[in-house]
Every structure is written in structure tokens, then in C-alpha cells.
Amino acid sequence: MIIALDPRTGRAVGEPIPESTEEQVVAIVEAAATAGRAWRVTPAAERAIVLEAVADALMASADDLWRAADTETALGEVRLRGEIARSAGQFRLFAEVLRDGGYLDAIIDHADPQLTPPRPDIRRMNQPLPGVVGVFAASNFPFAFSVAGGDVASALAAGCPVVVKAHPGHPVLSGLVATVIQAALPEPELLGLVQGADAGRYLVQHPAVAAVGFTGSIHGGKAIQGLINERPDPIPFYGELGSVNPVIVLPSALNGDVTSLATGFAGSLTLGVGQFCTNPGLLFVPDDDTLLKAIAHAVSETTGGPMLTPKIRDGYEEGVARLALGATELAIGQETAPTGDIARIGQEGASGDISGIAGSVVPRVFVTDLGSFADRLPDLAEECFGPAALVVKYRDISRVGEVLERLPGSLTATVHATDPAEAEQIADVLTRLAGRVIWNGWPTGVAVCWAMHHGGPWPASTSAAHTSVGATAISRWLAPVAYQNWPDTLLPPELRDDNPLNVPRRVDGSR
């Protein structure tokens, strides 16, 4: 049985959720595959209408959804309402993607008998993967990267049915969200939900599953890849894993508002108790006392809070201990004052360690010099998931570039400077290091838009060519099919000569 816990109190939430048996997983996957046959050939315009209906259903249920999510995540009403809106926005974005038609990458090369050898008529476009997409929900985004997340929205948009393995941190909410979405689908079986660790194994290895999406830890991603490797037929695995998201402060930034720079870093570091995949875990700064003092002060003014699960909390404490072995503590934030049930537990004497029950942590920032950091690679460049970071002092920016070359891949890399020319010597390495490079900003907050790329070299993701956020996330669930000398009446409408759907196409080499 899966028991949901309130991170604030450690107390059970709702009734225990039974883990899905192998027979149940098989039935759910096969039902999704059956429903997917009609969904695959449903016109894109009709699929777009369904996606918008899902978005409307999520927003209409927001009052119930955020309350259920808060009891299992302690993320609060403002954050959770915003995330529901983001999830709805993802479904609406993919409705736009379907109506645009560019995702099909439609190409036509007419026959040309004058070529040597003669060329037949070849027409190509993307089609949905022939099977079910398996999705593993994330812990830190109970809506936007879970049952109502971008993997689900993009896969449904592509024309694929989906089965989600719920995260054990919010099992009750997962069932509620699945019910809301299923009610908006033409067939509820297009979205299946399974619960439990074994269910994840059964899902990944079911022969009807054609691809898998995952957001989580490196350890979890490797485990899923291992299960896929045991299959007789390989399938693609799109995992978003660990990321330290380096931030480089160049000397010219010291001519600006150093206090704002420090508070911006502290705010990004501690947002959502640091439980963001784009958390700035490494900060390279000039060896400047004023800046270091500003960072220390800004971090000391921040507060901690309960982490999503005891496992995440324990991982944070282990990461902090690892940083403490290789660096000096620069600043520590403040504990969150207990309120509500937590305060009452303390008053009643039910626990001598409230923070231990609630999973609360405090922000921690450490400091070291560039040489010491380089000597302790790769250990000091390992992600510490939570509100912890390492500040690395440097004196020569050219040496920073050499160290950046040795870092693992990240989702983001950020530069703070007032002189663009100053960044020339590190710009190239940053574009090889990360999937998104940021100028005078902070990495937390991933816009859901056409141009977004949320991926990066290993271990940020398993496929740097693909994104889990933004319009092009749909490409993970598509594969091209080429039609040679195919009768026009049998071609998909998007490839017929009259182009009745008016999709963008490349014809004989020209767009």
C-alpha cells in the first residue's frame, strides 16, 4: 500500500492507495493501446479541441486540485494554483502546435526522371509512435511534470495514448487529476494511471509501450534505462535527470547593483525550498569581499521549509554533508516557524524534533576557491537537490573556462555581466555545457513556449536533442514515414497535392 504523507506534519493523508498489480498494469496498458488506435487517426484539429477541453477541465477543478495537492506537497495555494494554470497552458500550447502543423515536418520531392538515377515521388511526414507512451511523474511538480504534465500533453497531442506511473509523493492527487483529464477525453482509457514501484517496471517492459518519459534523479533514470535494456525490443527513453546549473558572475557585474545580484541568487536558490531542476547549485564569482558578504546576508535572510518527501530530505542532508567536506560554510538560512498542526504537535510534546517529522530543512551555501574546486571534481559538481549551493571564488576568468569544460552537462548555464565582450571567452563552452543559456537572469522559471529547450547533455537529460518543455517536446513521440509513389487518394491529407489542411511543407527543396 502507498501512504501519502503531509510534509508539514509527517501524518498520513487520506486512505492508503493499493499498488497496481502486474495484471492491472497489463490491462491498463492494453486498454490504452486499444483506445489509441482511433486516437492515432483522429484529425489534428479534433485532437486540438480535446486538448483545450482538458485545459478547461483542469482550471474548472482548480479549487479541489490545489487543496488535494497541498496536503501531499505543502507547496501552498499560490504556487499550486499557478502550476495548475501552467499545466492547462501546456495543453493549450499543444493545441496551437497541432493547428500550426509544422510539427509534422511534411516534405515532398516530386518524381524527376531526368536525374541519375531517376528519382521516384517521395513524400514524408511525422506520425505518432505506434504504441503507448509511458510517463513517470515527478515529485517536485505535482501538476506540470506529473499526470497533467508536459509529457502527457505532448504525447496526447502527437496522437499517442499515455499511461502514467504516479509519484508516491502525491498518489491521492494523481488519481484525482487522472479522473479530471479522463472525463475530458473521448475515451477515458487514453490516459491510464498505475501506482507503485513494481508498476513502473511492468509499464516499462510491456511490449505495447513505445517510448518512456521521466523526470527525476540520475539513479532513477539509470534504473529505468536498465529495465528498457532488458526488453527484447529497444525503445527510446527521454529522461530529465540531474543538473547543477552553473552561474558565472563576471567582473563587470560588480559595477552594478551587487545587493540585487545577491538577493536574486538567494531567491532563485530557495524558491520552492530549492526543489527545482533548474536550481542554481554552482555560483562562480570574482574574489570580492563585498559580493561575498552580500550573498551571505541575502541567504541568511531566507527561510527553509518542509521538503516533499522524507527521501528527498535525506538526500538533501547527504548532499549538504558532501559539500561541507570540501568547502567552508558561507551562510545558513533560517528555520520556518511551525504553524497549525506542526505547532500543536510541539505544544503537545508529541515530538521532540518537529523538523524531522515535517521534513523541514534550511538553506545552506558553501564557499571554496577555484583551485580547490577543480581538485575535488567531480564530487563538488554533483547536484544537491534542495536549497544548497556552492560559491566558487576565482581571480582569473580564463581559468574559469578551463574548469567549466570539466563540469557535467546541465539544463541551464547563466552569465551575469554588463559587458557582452567580457563573456566571449566562455560563451562557446556554455553552449556545449547546457541546453539553455541565460544572460543577467536566473534559471528557475521555465517558460512554456515555442522556443523553449529544457534538456541538455548528460546527466541533465538522456537526449540533449530533445526537450520536455515547449512546443518541440512533441517530437519525442513522433517518427517519420516516407511514402514512395503512393496514390494521392491514400496519402495523408497533409501530403496530398492540394494540401487541403494548408500545413507548412517543403516541396522540391523549397519551403
| 160 given a catalytic annotation | no
CB 466 within 8 A of CB 66: no
Rg (CA), the chain: 25
CB 363 within 8 A of CB 310: no
Catalytic residue among 72, 83, 189, 240: 240
Catalytic residue among 277, 383, 384, 494: 277
In one-letter notation, the amino acid at residue 201 is: R
Look at residue 471 and give its three-state secondary structure.
helix
For strands 328-332 and 364-369, give the pairing: antiparallel
SS (H, E, C) 375-392: HCCCHHHCCCCCCEEEEE
Label residue 401 exposed, middle or buried (CB < 10 Å: 0-12, 13-18, 19+): middle
b/e per residue 468-490 (b: at least 16 CB within 10 A) = bbbbbbbbbbbeeeebeeeeeee
Residue 442: CA atoms inside 13 Å, Cβ hemisphere, count?
20
| 277 given a catalytic annotation | yes
| 239 membership: H or E segment, kind and range | strand 237-240
Straight-line distance from the first to the last Cα atom of the chain, in angstroms, rounded to the nearest whole number: 55
Residue written as grid cell 548528460: 458
CB 431 within 8 A of CB 464: no
SS (H, E, C) 338-353: CCHHHHHHHHHCCCCC
Rounded to an integer, what distance in angstroms lies between the CA atom of residue 233 and that of residue 169? 31
Rounded to an integer, what distance in angstroms lies between the CA atom of residue 377 and that of residue 382? 9
Identify which of 27, 481, 431, 460 has the alpha carbon closest to the alpha carbon of residue 214. Answer: 460
* Inter-axis angle of helices 218-229 and 197-204, nearest 10: 40
Rounded to an integer, what distance in angstroms lies between the CA atom of residue 447 and that of residue 412? 13
For strands 505-507 and 106-109, give the pairing: parallel
Catalytic center residues? 240, 277
